[in-house]
Structure 1
């Protein structure tokens, strides 16, 4: 009887991995000649001297030229402002703004106030366009949506060092947590948006109140989506593979831990119970099959048990590879260790809970953020 129960749990776990992230829409490559309204690109930046050059260079290479590129220097202590000026961007100093709050939302609001474009594009500093028609392709999709609502993209994650692969499960959960990409598609209530790339018309941004309403939030993607939904405006979300990529936390594992900690718990709020359940079942399946493989090999109860457990484990490995290919480019070897990456995800989630609910403070870019 117990083996039937184990088999059922493993099956449900495998099914759940398909359930919560079945299909992710991407930006199709186009180069239409339809006129794109003047757009302003606003980049909030705090100590981003390593990431900013790749983004600004990719903007310069785009087939459509933005009206302006505004970099809001959020009290950086490195060469962020100097690098932005070298690329011809307009640099604003957040320290000169008379705002009660600091951080990304305040920097975005400051940039939006100075921007002149009909469209506003908010970009994180670690993103980059991957081909010359990326921005035009995005604009074409937004034009087809009648320039209506909040348009967001989660960049495709590029990794270079081994420690960066720790983000793989977290990236998967970020996608799954919006309730939009499951097997049920539009039958679940949608939530949130993706903060690294946000596009909106100036008119709707101003009518919604924009970042001014959410100055005390470091989760502008979730809060802006709520603002737009309160106005009955659509919130569109896409995957960035082939259009916008990023390299998360290139400065080391400490940056990775702090970066995920400041957003992990709030990002999980509002995820539908069915999606939560499917994520829990998938994690349970990964852990259970990993333990079964170890036990079957160590105790070698029977050759059949070893072969069956290994076959089930390989199914989870291939599914893990299928999931990670949706969100980023990770080394091939990562697919063999789903247990390790799931445990890393659980560890970061527990640490985030301690920071947010017990310590009530998280650290990011040398700045303490009270929770």
Structure 2
């Protein structure tokens, strides 16, 4: 290999190795500080050390002499997405791709210098596929759990009459402060549910709102939802997890304290509790009422889960719900059947915020 080709190879190896080390460090910090995951942190740290050991076979002086950052034309080339990272999961995805692509680059150009070195890097690359897959999936779940933890207003919507109307409606709900949107339409055929579900998923992509599919774990996967909500007559949490995996959220409807404890023990990410009041959109033989909410609040302090009161809740009775210890609600008619859904959603969100603030400050 002539001197120019050799210098080019070393320059590429130096730049690519730096990208790998930087990417791995970015991922390691998330495992360490974002997930408090000692095992994941150790895996990434080990990978960094393995690459550092492999790179010792390349004379570092040659790498440093080949480095010429000021003359690197790539430093001035930018893309529109390069500085756009709206969520931590986006940071992790970009870092993972950077690591894997750069490892392949090191492997290929390393073959021109030392085949044994290239073989070592190949092994690290294959290992990275498994480790970084785990990291990204954990990041996705962590992002969803984090958003769920601060969610207070959960709205149920149907398929509406068109993609356009649903898209506009969902956008208005997000703007009004709705944190979670569930697609629930018992009369819609599966294909329409998938079509409308994809509309919601796309509409929420760049927001902090979560998209939940009602009942159907299979459709939750197909529509790229953030989770699925099941009732007492649908699949169990364990059965649902077999379909959706660990990264999707699973919520469960509960109507008595025993069901609440069972849902929590089975690993539900959140619970719906009700019906609290007579509902305008769903008929029930009986209503669990405010007493049920008080019991849930009292008996789940040692096993907390985000719990949403549901059933006939609106601005006129929200204070009763809050006095029972609930500051999360799930509603349909209170928003969907309002003369101005946007204003109704915004009022509910403001009330929830004010009621929680009063409780925190100890005022009535």
Which bin holds the TM-score, normalised by the shorter protein? under 0.3
Name the one with the larger helix percent.
2
Name the one with the larger strand percent.
1
TM (norm. structure 2) is: 0.25
When Rg is computed on C-alpha atoms for both structures, the one with the higher figure is 2
